[in-house]
Amino acid sequence: MATRISAKGRVTLPRKVCEALRVGPGDRVQFAFNGGGEIVVNKAPPEVRPSGRARNARHHARLEAQMRRRAAELLALLRGLD
């Protein structure tokens, strides 16, 4: 599998890689070098906040999507009242 590097140095992970790592929007990945000089990509452990609670980025992204959907429904209702 090949992918391109953007002008800002960003790389899009192919869908099959995301599925194998079980990652999605908002999840974190980490890069490491193995003994043979190859780069290994793994799912990063959850980020821990100073309060000691883990940050659930996937839940946050899902919540944002729900809020956008609700806003779109509200706008559709308001436009129907014209």
Whether the model clears a pTM of 0.85, i.e. scores above it, the answer is: no
pLDDT value of residue 27: 86
Question: Average per-residue pLDDT in the chain?
Answer: 81
Which residue type occupies 10?
A: R
pLDDT value of residue 31: 92
Judge whether residue 71 has pLDDT over 90.
no
Tell me the β-bridge partners of 5.
11
Judge whether residue 7 has pLDDT over 90.
yes
Judge whether residue 6 has pLDDT over 80.
yes
Judge whether residue 9 has pLDDT over 90.
yes
